[in-house]
């Protein structure tokens, strides 16, 4: 009986863990982030500041909305901001890890940057039809690396 109970407890513990894990999408690691499509990148990173509805937010300063924002007319502008950062927004360009830094920077591939721009420009009430291609993003940073070193 005791054995049966402990087996039952084990079973419950296992299913409990499985349920808890399946309820949450796994988080990206630095390695797996490269597999994220534009929509996933938006929800994993961009919405932290630009908000889940892309409407931005205002406190002592403002995070710009990514909806109804005339700057979105230029996907190249958006690519430049994502590649090189702007003001407090960090850069996401592929680069070697900085050995002096105590945390690793998150970076996005040119394809991911193009994809997240195209996602934003066709969602949240945006209806742009001129997509940007990964090659165009790549052309904006010829000096930097295109793949991260191990």
Residues that bind another protein (CB under 8 A): 20-21, 24, 27-30, 33, 43-49, 51-52, 57-63, 85-91, 98-106
Closest distance to another protein from the beta carbon of 133 (Å): 25
- Provide the token pair at 75: 């996907």
Q: Which is nearer to another protein, 37 or 133 (CB)?
A: 37
Q: Which is nearer to another protein, 17 or 73 (CB)?
A: 17
Closest distance to another protein from the beta carbon of 77 (Å): 16
Q: Which is nearer to another protein, 21 or 131 (CB)?
A: 21
Q: Residues 121, 93: contact at Cβ < 8 Å? A: no
Closest distance to another protein from the beta carbon of 150 (Å): 8
> What separation in angstroms does the CA of 55 have from each of 60, 84, 120, 123, 150?
16, 22, 11, 12, 37
Q: Which is nearer to another protein, 102 or 127 (CB)?
A: 102
Q: How many CB atoms lie within 10 A of CB 89?
A: 15
Q: Which is nearer to another protein, 13 or 135 (CB)?
A: 13
Closest distance to another protein from the beta carbon of 44 (Å): 5
Closest distance to another protein from the beta carbon of 117 (Å): 18
Number of residues assigned to the chain:
150
């Amino acid at each position: 009986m005791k054995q049966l109970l402990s087996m039952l407890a084990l079973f419950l513990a296992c299913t409990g863990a499985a349920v808890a894990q399946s309820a949450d999408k796994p988080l990206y690691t630095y390695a797996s982030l490269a597999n994220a499509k534009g929509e996933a990148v938006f929800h994993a990173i961009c919405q932290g500041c630009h908000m889940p509805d892309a409407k931005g937010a205002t406190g002592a300063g403002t995070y710009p909305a990514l909806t109804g924002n005339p700057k979105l007319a230029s996907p190249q502008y958006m690519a430049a901001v994502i590649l090189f950062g702007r003001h407090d927004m960090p850069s996401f360009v592929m680069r070697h890890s900085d050995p002096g830094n105590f945390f690793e920077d998150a970076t996005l591939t040119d394809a991911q940057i193009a994809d997240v721009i195209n996602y934003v420009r066709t969602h949240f009430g945006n209806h742009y039809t001129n997509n940007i291609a990964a090659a165009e993003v790549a052309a904006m940073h010829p000096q930097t690396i295109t793949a991260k070193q191990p």
